[in-house]
């Protein structure tokens, strides 16, 4: 039996032959033992496979599935456009906003944390701005928070003329 005859038997089993040809093939099977044996074997095989042939169902409709495939192909054909280049103003603003925030926090910190007693390095720097008394000395007691400025005023000669408690009184 050649391959073409075997295919005719398979087509008869699958119901794919026209009526007239199906009758001819059926008569041939009835008369030919080899054909009948092959037909029986094909029928048994199909029944056996039918029990194991798991039915696969798509979770979506066929039309929707293929439309997804089509959209995927279109995406590949037309890649997404690149984002427009940012302007210098945007870049500058992106830098200035956090920089100004940091500067504000620093300035606020400096202003709020300035100690009431701190000199700030300006006018408070301890200094004698005018001393007629060149013999004066200054002593600072940091623990007591006391500054002593000892003057040679009044001059000893002048003091000698005064009463002891009369120097400044």
Q: Which residues bind another protein (CB under 8 A)?
A: 93, 97, 100, 104, 107-108, 111-112, 114, 116-120, 122-133, 136, 139, 141, 143-154, 156, 159-160, 162-165, 167-169
**In the complex with another protein, which residue's Cβ is closer, 53 or 141?**
141
Q: How far is the CB of 147 from another protein (least distance, A)?
A: 5
CB atoms within 10 A of CB 21: 13
Beta carbon of residue 138, minimum distance to another protein (angstroms, whole number)? 8
| Spatial CB neighbours of 154, under 8 Å, sequence gap ≥ 6 | 162, 167
Minimum CB distance to another protein smaller for 18 or for 117:
117
Between residues 44 and 147, which has the closer beta carbon with respect to another protein?
147
Q: Are the C-beta atoms of residues 79 and 49 closer than 8 Å to each other?
A: no
CB of 82 to another protein, least distance (A): 21
What is residue 139's DSSP assignment?
E
- Minimum Å gap between C-beta 106 and another protein is 11
Could you tell me how far CA 65 lies from the centroid of its own chain? 33
Nearer Cβ to another protein (2/128):
128
Cα-based angle 55, 8, 45 (whole degrees, multiple of 5): 40
d(CA 12, CA 39): 9
> Residue 31 carries which DSSP code?
H
**What is the nearest approach in angstroms of another protein to the Cβ of residue 88?**
15
How far is CA 6 from each of CA 34, 38, 39, 74, 153, rounded to the nearest angstrom?
Answer: 11, 8, 9, 45, 139
Tokens of 71: 């959209």
Minimum CB distance to another protein smaller for 45 or for 104: 104
């Amino acid at each position: 039996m050649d391959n073409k005859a075997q295919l005719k038997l398979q087509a008869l089993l699958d119901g794919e032959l026209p009526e007239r040809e199906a009758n001819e093939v059926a008569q041939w099977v009835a008369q030919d033992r080899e054909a009948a044996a092959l037909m029986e074997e094909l029928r048994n095989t199909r029944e056996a496979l039918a029990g194991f042939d798991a039915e696969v169902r798509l979770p979506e409709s066929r039309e929707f599935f293929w439309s997804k495939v089509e959209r995927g192909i279109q995406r590949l054909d037309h890649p997404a456009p690149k984002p427009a280049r940012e302007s210098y103003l945007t870049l500058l603003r992106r830098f200035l906003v956090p920089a100004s925030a940091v500067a504000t926090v620093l300035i606020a910190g400096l202003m709020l944390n300035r100690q009431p007693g701190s000199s700030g390095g300006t006018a408070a720097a301890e200094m004698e701005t005018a001393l007629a008394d060149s013999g004066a000395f200054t002593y600072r007691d940091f623990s007591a928070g006391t500054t002593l400025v000892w003057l040679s005023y009044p001059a000893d000669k002048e003091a000698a003329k005064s009463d002891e408690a009369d120097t400044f009184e």
